Amino acid sequence: MTLSPAALRVLRAVAATLVSDGAADLGDRVAVKIAALPRRSDREELDLLLRWLDSQVLNLLLTGIPLPFTRMSPAQRERCLRGWATSWIGQRRKAFQALKRLTTVTHYTTPGVARAIGYPGPLGPPPNTAKAIRPLAITGRTLLECDVVVVGSGAGGGVVAAELAAAGKDVIVLEKGGYRNEADFTHVEGEALETMYDAGGLLATRDLGLVVLQGATLGGGTVINYTTSFATPPSVRNEWARKHQLPHFEQKEFNVALHKVANRLGVNPDHANPSGRDRVLIRGLETLGWHHGLLPRDVRGCPQDDSCGYCGFGCRAGAKQSTLVTYLQDAVTRGARIVVDCEVQRVTIERGIATGVEARAGKSGFAVTVRAKAVVLAAGSIHSPALLLRSGVSLAALGKHLALHPATAVFGQMDEEVRPWTGTVQAHYSDQFADLHEGYGFKFETAPVHPSFQALATPWKSSAQFREWMGRLPRTALTGILLRDRFGGRVRVDRAGNPIVDYRLSRYDRRHLRRAISAAAELMEAAGAREIWLPLAQPVSYVPGVKNAREDWLRRVDAAGWGPNQLLLVTFHQMASCRMGASKRTSVVDAEHRVWGIRNLYVADASTFPSASGVNPMLTVMAMAHRAAGVIATH
Ligand SMILES: Cc1cc2nc3c(=O)[nH]c(=O)nc-3n(C[C@H](O)[C@H](O)[C@H](O)COP(=O)(O)OP(=O)(O)OC[C@H]3O[C@@H](n4cnc5c(N)ncnc54)[C@H](O)[C@@H]3O)c2cc1C
């Protein structure tokens, strides 16, 4: 569905108001993105809200301006949009954020635009690296047969495929993303988001309260992730063993699995040369005497220099040990077949037994049917439950308990050049507040800030203020907050079978987040920040040094509100929506990764975590998948 002509007219005016120095076709390019949103109802809602924005009566009632948006003066338009940004009506804030994010990210990811704010990327063309994998070409309606079909090729799918192929199984991997290797890593932000992230980077919870980032490319999240490779913490393993009655998490077999995957990925603590961002973080932590440590990373020969930091768009150096350069290549060497651009629609289940999957491949949407003795879902924590729901599986816990590690950051304006997009992607962390209550709390880490992220995070009050804040990028540092959430959300599917993600921060988790914001601001002060701010809808900042400045700022933050579409929250880690457990009433898979009540159907990805892992989850996913492969191989 494309926008109606009336909505498009308003969108053009909105885009020109949000970014007054944008190209003449900015609104039209945003319209193309809206047309590509995965859910029809989201597209229809935006169309309707845009038309409301042009309603004279509504504008009079809501903002006191008795004009359609398209007939307002530039100053009136800005005032009107500010009203939407801070409205007490959730729908208006949601519409504002949708339009602000789409417009500003589209503008600042237009090649060349970000040069004006000192951003140099991308750094030349990608290398001419040959492709090591030759995916199966699908040129028409196709029927395939194998022992095991694996859906998804990320942290879980890659490991399962390689280990099963090593065990002599005939394996087929179906991946909905394309095959992009070093030679395709252009590091052009907009292109990378569109081609390597799920829904082109536009996935979000239903109320847009959380931006959902996950990989959708051969290798899944492991290709675009930040290489941090924590083993599952002993306290979390203990919680899973005890509370979820899954003793194997504390047994030797899980140690062995963790060890094997870490070994294959070459996880090591020797590539933690601090970036400009990390140096600020360390300075703050050391001044306060708070914990900090080196991050273990899955890299071999990582340069850790100015060529780094673009890892979220793929590692050109081939240093990141994603499944693309490890497990998937192992799988192929042992005979596994890989199909890319192939989206699985449903699992075929006959009389309680999984018999294969049905998928669509390529732009032409050729039907692909795979008949298999076993089906392993590793499509990640949003799509694995959606697939099961589409396939008619009905279990009380299916899609529930979704954990997201909600992340945000406190930003600081520094005297020094930080150039937050560059250097080692993540090198240091702090667990000072990781255990505030029963193992729940938050971690501090940093993350690269490229123009798209800065545009997402920067509050908008006027196009002049926004432009000025974007220009601060080179001297911006951040303390990233990663919250271990205790109470989760839910994945459902709409009538067309698309996933809908419902998630609201619980009061318990909000308390921890409030503590995190306060502590992160204290840290930025200790690191010497001149001005400190939070990614709220509107600018709320403070200059440290004045008595009670932070306490006063926190009161203003509370007054501005940090509910959905007031504070930017992002999830990089989706977990636990098909959780493992000891009973079919409270979980989706048993201790052996088998979906309760359906034979030959397994799930082996982050969705099987019993709860949030509290640490960056990749290594835990892989260890669980490694163990799952052992179970399936003896099937
Ligand atoms: C920007 C970013 C940075 C991150 N940094 C880190 C980090 O530093 N350390 C860490 O531990 N974790 C990190 N993570 C998280 C980590 O990458 C994930 O937790 C992990 O990859 C999850 O593994 P998975 O197997 O569950 O899913 P994924 O790795 O996401 O793989 C799922 C795959 O299934 C495919 N798929 C989905 N639906 C279908 C379908 N219907 N048919 C066919 N294929 C389908 C997807 O395209 C995808 O490739 C990061 C994530 C992001 C987005």
Can you name the residues that pair with 443 across neighbouring β-strands? 482
Contact 521, 536 (CB under 8 A): no
Mutate to test the pocket of ligand 1, among 174, 176, 384 (most ligand atoms within 8 A of CB): 176
Residue (of 596, 612, 594, 613) closest to 604 by Cα position: 594
Mean pLDDT of 389-397: 98
3-state helix, strand, coil in the chain (%, to 5): 40, 20, 45
**DSSP of 458-516:** S--S-HHHHHHHHTTGGGEEEEEEEE--SS-EEEEE-TTS-EEEE----HHHHHHHHHH
Is 440 touching ligand 1 by the criterion CB < 6 Å?
no
Contact 621, 627 (CB under 8 A): no
DSSP state of 589: B
- pLDDT tens by residue, 228-251: 999 999 999 999 999 999 999 999
- pLDDT tens by residue, 574-610: 999 999 999 999 999 999 999 999 999 999 999 999 9
Is 616 touching ligand 1 by the criterion CB < 6 Å?
yes
* Cα(530) to centroid(ligand 1), Å: 37
Is 615 touching ligand 1 by the criterion CB < 6 Å?
no
- pLDDT tens by residue, 444-455: 999 999 999 999
Mean pLDDT of 599-623: 98
Is 568 touching ligand 1 by the criterion CB < 6 Å?
no
Is 622 touching ligand 1 by the criterion CB < 6 Å?
no
CA distance 80 to 65: 8
What is the pTM (predicted TM-score) of this model? Answer: 0.97
Cα angle at 196 between 166 and 147, to 5 degrees?
A: 25
Instruction: Please identify, by atom number, the ligand 1 atom nearest to the C-alpha of residue 426.
Output: 8
The SS3 call for residue 343 is strand
Is 343 touching ligand 1 by the criterion CB < 6 Å?
yes
CA distance 569 to 213: 11
Q: Which residues of 222-232 are buried (b: 16+ CB within 10 A; e: fewer)?
A: bbbbbbbbbbb
Say whether pLDDT at 38 is over 90: no
- Beta strand 171-174 with 142-151 is parallel
Can you name the residues that pair with 204 across neighbouring β-strands? 211
Terminal Cα distance for the chain, rounded = 46
* Cα(220) to centroid(ligand 1), Å: 5
- pLDDT tens by residue, 510-532: 999 999 999 999 999 999 999 99
In the chain, the amino acid numbered 265 is L
**pLDDT attached to residue 120:** 96
Mean pLDDT of 542-557: 96
Contact 179, 322 (CB under 8 A): no
CA distance 559 to 403: 27
- Residue that is written with structure tokens 């941090």 in the block: 228
* Cα(154) to centroid(ligand 1), Å: 5
Contact 294, 271 (CB under 8 A): no
Q: Which residues contact 431 (CB under 8 A, 6 or more apart)?
A: 291, 293, 443
- Other CB atoms within a 10 A radius of the CB of residue 615 amount to 23
**pLDDT attached to residue 1:** 63
In the chain, the amino acid numbered 203 is L
Split at pLDDT 50, 70, 90, the class of 39 is: confident
Split at pLDDT 50, 70, 90, the class of 2 is: confident
Report the chain's mean pLDDT, rounded to a whole number.
97
Split at pLDDT 50, 70, 90, the class of 70 is: very high
Say whether pLDDT at 635 is over 80: no
Q: Which residues contact 397 (CB under 8 A, 6 or more apart)?
A: 579, 581, 585, 586, 587, 588
CA distance 617 to 284: 26
Element (H, E) at 453: helix 451-457
CA distance 82 to 383: 35
- pLDDT tens by residue, 91-138: 999 999 999 999 999 999 999 999 999 999 999 999 999 999 999 999
Q: Which residues of 37-66 are buried (b: 16+ CB within 10 A; e: fewer)?
A: bebeebbebbbebbbbbbeeeebeebbebe
- pLDDT tens by residue, 484-498: 999 999 999 999 999
Is 222 touching ligand 1 by the criterion CB < 6 Å?
yes
The token duo for 3 is 């926008």
Q: Which residues contact 351 (CB under 8 A, 6 or more apart)?
A: none
- pLDDT tens by residue, 301-335: 999 999 999 999 999 999 999 999 999 999 999 99
